[in-house]
Amino acid sequence: MNAPPLHLEIQSLYNDFSHRLSDDSLETWIELFDEQAEYRMTSRRNHELGLPLCVMLCESTGAIKDRLTAIRNTLVFAPRRIFHTSMNIQLVEAKEDVLLTRSQFMVWQTFESGSTELQMVGRSFDTLTRRGEQLRFAKRVAIFDTELIAGSTVYPV
């Protein structure tokens, strides 16, 4: 069987990423990351000024797993459902099995009251690698443009 074109593989990875976050399938969402993955979420202002401050920083897959355990077991926050979408996905550079990509994202959250609000919009700059036949995130830098985030940032984007 022939492998799908690279752009379809990349699109499929981003689709899985968004669906698993939106479906609250965090335990399978982590499977989209390489074993040594890094995850950062920061504001545009901090990113542009080169400041290291991040809203969420996980310097290994173990740290990402710790964050997910905290979401499930220890963090106290108003219950909500999130809806995540990735769009305008672009392959910036390809070197052997390392791909540099970028995308835009939007995150909405719906609280138990039923009200839905836009939580944030932003861009991601990602490094993808192959694990076997599958593309995985080796690094994700999510930069949100929203200056005042509605509610607390609990979930990754």
Spatial neighbors of 96 by CB under 8 A, at least 6 apart, are none
What is the overall mean pLDDT for the chain?
A: 89
Strand spans (E) along 8-55: 33-43
Give me the sign of the Cα torsion angle 19, 25, 28, 33: positive
pLDDT digits (tens, 9 = 90+) for 94-150: 998 899 999 999 999 998 888 898 889 999 999 999 988 899 999 999 999 977 666
Averaged pLDDT, 13-30: 95
What is residue 4's predicted lDDT score, i.e. its pLDDT? 76
Q: Is pLDDT at 24 greater than 80 in this prediction?
A: yes
| Residues 6 or more apart in contact with residue 98 via CB below 8 angstroms | 127, 128, 129, 138
Residue 76: pLDDT band by 50, 70, 90 thresholds? low
β-pair type (33-43, 56-58):
antiparallel
C-beta atoms surrounding 133 within 10 Å: 7
Instruction: Identify the residue with better confidence: 41 or 73.
Output: 41
pLDDT band at 152 (very low <50, low <70, confident <90, very high): low
